[in-house]
């Protein structure tokens, strides 16, 4: 009952800008328990600054008692009673990141957790790519890095002539094997074609036989 009465009286005084450390004057008969990272202040600011970028120390008349960060430290947020020396995340390589900042590193998506000021990373997720089948003769599947997303790859069909089937037709007498390369194909096709004998050769042969 006495603690409650003194607390109400001190609160009224604080609202008028008068600070009374009544707990200390009563040899802490009415203790005020604070979290481990904070300290008790009989006359602390009504609107303490936090690590939230939107947070500013708002002007307010009077002071209040409560748990506050020690000198040189700042409260992470109004919801988090943890005090830190700097309002940023620190990577293993020493680089500082702002609360809420996101970045990609070593194919991992990282974020500076604004509630804990700890770096959290998860594996980069690749977008679903269309499944590719290399059914044409001579083509083989090859994993190719996606230029706009270097952490991911897609399957493309590349021509490898060493994979082409070796099929040569048996041509009839008077025919020859002709190689045909069709546009968009990896492997050549072979056809049988008649020999082309120029007319001049035929005339000369006739004259020679006549003689």
Cβ atoms of 97 and 118 closer than 8 Å: no
Residue 26, both tokens: 């009563």
**Residue 153, pLDDT score:** 92
Residue 197: per-residue pLDDT: 55
% of the chain with per-residue pLDDT over 90: 23
Record the pTM. 0.54
Q: With 70 as the cut, is the pLDDT of residue 57 above it?
A: no
Nearest alpha-carbon partner for 89 in 59, 66, 114, 53? 114
Domain ranges within the chain, ordered by starting residue: 2-84, 89-123, 128-211
What's the rounded Cα separation, in Å, for the pair 35 and 195?
Answer: 100
Tell me: the pLDDT tens digits for 106-137? 999 999 998 888 999 999 988 887 888 998 99
């Amino acid at each position: 009952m006495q603690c409650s009465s003194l607390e109400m009286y001190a609160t009224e005084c604080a609202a008028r800008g008068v600070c009374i450390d009544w707990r200390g004057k009563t040899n802490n008969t009415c203790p005020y328990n604070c979290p481990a990272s904070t300290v008790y202040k009989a006359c602390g600011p009504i609107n303490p600054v936090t690590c939230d970028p939107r947070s500013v120390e708002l002007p307010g008349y009077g002071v209040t008692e409560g748990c506050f960060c020690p000198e040189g430290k700042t409260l992470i947020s109004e919801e988090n009673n943890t005090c830190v020396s700097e309002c940023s995340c620190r990577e293993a390589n020493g680089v500082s990141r702002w609360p809420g900042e996101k970045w990609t590193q070593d194919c991992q998506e990282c974020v500076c957790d604004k509630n804990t000021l700890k770096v959290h990373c998860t594996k980069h997720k690749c977008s679903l790519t269309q499944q590719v089948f290399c059914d044409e003769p001579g083509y083989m599947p090859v994993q190719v890095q996606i230029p706009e997303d270097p952490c991911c790859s897609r399957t493309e069909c590349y021509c490898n002539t060493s994979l082409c089937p070796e099929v040569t037709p048996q041509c009839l007498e008077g025919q020859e094997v002709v190689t045909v390369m069709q546009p968009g194909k990896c492997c050549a096709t072979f056809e049988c074609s008649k020999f082309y004998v120029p007319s001049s050769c035929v005339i000369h042969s006739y004259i020679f036989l006549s003689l």
